[in-house]
A and B are shown apart, each in its own frame.
Chain A
Amino acid sequence: MSTFIQQLANGVSLGSIYALIALGYTMVFGVLKLINFAHSDVMMVGAYVAFFVATGLNAGPDPSIASALITFLAAMAGAAALGIAIERLVYRPLRSASRLSLLIAAMGMSLLLEYGGQVVFGPQHRRVPDVITDERIVLGDLNLTVHKLIILGVSVVLMLGLHFFVNKTRTGTAMRAVSQNVDAAKLMGVNTDFIIGLTFAIGSALAGAAGLLVAFHQQGDIDPLMGVYPGLKAFVAAVLGGIGSIYGAMLGGLLIGVAETFVAAYLPSSFRDTITFSILILVLLVRPAGLLGKFKPEKV
């Protein structure tokens, strides 16, 4: 029983990282109907921004709430800036081109960031200094760490913020309108280019935060290809939850994180990556639109 709760806690912590990344996939899909393959690499760049800022702040030997906050905000801002740039320079000029061209551009962008990252940052692994001291916290049978709690806390705060923005603000409502009907949103006076850019900014900022959280999760270890696996899992999470659905991405992320942790705990480790895709295939057989998805086959 105690290991069960322990694994659940670990799974929720990992799953909340997947959820944060999945949100970017699902939001961009909502407004552009594009799978932004470069998204996970934006997360990687966010982690590198965190690495440079935390190193610059000399956070390793001298961690503090202030340096943690600055590092988080820098990772989010850096990733957001990159997301906006990719949308402006690559996807926007291609918006009237075929879906396939857009998809290929997204794949190209992903490769560019992964291999460009190896050139710019170097191919070797690096270690993000601890912006906050990691300590063990024992709650009865439960063994937690400060870093795990931060992963959970940061994810919850960001997701609540997104929930509020999307549902309660005028701009958030416009974003939902754009994801349903771009032309109709224009007729309402919504500057759809601005909303699409903003969607990239928000999704990328969440990925930037996730970049630092992934580093937390693996004792600070980062490298230019660190986005590949979490990105794949998060993408699966978004599809599982119903691509285009924000709450679906959150739910899908948690489910994948928990499932993966349990499988790793109780089954041979080679099952760990298999489980993600098995769940995906099973759910899509029963609910092709995903758990919370609303996308129906197009009517002609």
Chain B
Amino acid sequence: MSATGTVDAPLLKLDAVSVAFGGIRALDGVSLEVRAGEMVTLIGANGAGKTTTLRTITGLVRPVSGSVWHAGDRLDTVRADRIVARGIAMVPEGRAIFGNLTVKENLRLGAYLVRDVAQIRRALDHNFALFPRLKEREQQVAGTLSGGEQQMLAIARALMSSPRLLLLDEPSLGIAPILVQAIFEAVLRIRREGTTVLLVEQNAHLALDTSDRAYVLETGRVLLDGICSVVKSDPRVKEAYLGEGVEVAGGAP
């Protein structure tokens, strides 16, 4: 491994993590690292194990072997409801907002463990600056928001705890292109402001164009990893994920 000018432990590290559901292996010895300040993407086909990877990090799923580390501390023995206190927040697949609660109540739950009222206020203001649509809909029942707005709410809710590491599971799934753009602009801004991002994305173009490094997952194993420009030119990735030979308008150089 190359030393990137620091001896500090990576912010997140998975060491040979395997996960099984019944007899089926969803993850088979997955190792990956995310360093502070990075934006890393995890791409792969349906069922490759991307969501399982994120759920393992947040303690919703337990590995059968291997370990998860956060800034040098063991994470895979920590209860799921203690993860957010470590500065890790997740935007779940399919958004998982609380549909019967108002936008405001959803956001307050994002700061469930935050006791400092001023800090909650700051996080709210920051979110409303990021997603002005949410401010307009503060009192609205979240289930009545459009899909794109629900995704914004899911991201805003995760940001309420002021996490150091943000895990995003397919934020573009089933959302109108114009809102996808708004959401990705917000993610890039969050990242510029200093939050480390691990992004799972089905839209490989989008993911590889916005992230620093990428891991490609195939049936529970890491097929390859590297900086995005290199991963993008890998023939296997081109063929399987980028649509080989098809020139996409506005694609990367």
Contacts and interface: CB of A to CB of B under 8 A. Distances in A.
| A-B pairs, 4 with minimum CB distance | A184-B96, A189-B113, A186-B80, A189-B84
Interface in B80-113: 80-85, 89-90, 92, 96-101, 105, 108-110, 112-113
A6 B85 CA distance: 57
16 contacts: A173-B101, A176-B100, A177-B109, A180-B98, A180-B99, A180-B100, A183-B60, A183-B80, A183-B92, A184-B98, A187-B60, A187-B158, A188-B109, A188-B110, A188-B112, A191-B81
Given A186-B81, A190-B109, 20 more contacts: A170-B108, A170-B112, A173-B101, A173-B108, A173-B109, A174-B112, A176-B98, A180-B101, A181-B98, A183-B60, A183-B80, A184-B96, A184-B97, A186-B59, A186-B80, A187-B80, A188-B81, A188-B109, A188-B113, A189-B113
Contacts of B85: 189
A173 B158 CA distance: 17
B161 A189 contact: yes
A294 interface: yes
A189 B82 contact: yes
B56 interface: no
Secondary structure class of chain A's binding surface, majority of residues: helix
Nearest to B81: A186
Contacts of B100: 176, 180, 294
Contacts of A176: 98, 100-101, 105
Nearest to A193: B81
Contacts of A185: 81, 109
A187 B92 contact: yes
A133 interface: no
A188 B110 CA distance: 5
B150 interface: no
Nearest to A294: B100
Contacts, number: 66
Interface string A160-197: 00000000001001101100110111111111100000
Contacts of B108: 170, 173
Contacts of A187: 58, 60, 80-81, 83-84, 89-90, 92, 158
Contact of A181 (B80, B96, B105): B96
Contacts of B99: 180
Interface of A: 170, 173-174, 176-177, 180-181, 183-192, 294
Nearest to A194: B81
B81 A189 contact: yes
Contacts of B58: 187
A192 B79 CA distance: 11
A163 B81 CA distance: 26
A238 B83 CA distance: 36
Contacts of A173: 101, 105, 108-109
Contacts of B157: 188
Contacts of B112: 170, 174, 188-190
A107 B217 CA distance: 46
A186 B83 CA distance: 9
A174 B99 CA distance: 13
Nearest to B96: A184
A181 B150 CA distance: 15
Contacts of A183: 60, 80, 92, 96
Contacts of A188: 81, 84, 109-110, 112-113, 157, 161
A192 B81 contact: yes
Contacts of B105: 173, 176
B83 A177 contact: no
A176 B82 CA distance: 20
A189 B80 CA distance: 8
Contacts of A170: 108, 112
Contacts of A294: 100
Contacts of A186: 59-60, 80-81
Nearest to B114: A189
Contacts of A177: 98, 101, 109
A214 to B, nearest CB: 31
Interface string B142-183: 000000000000000110010000000000000000000000
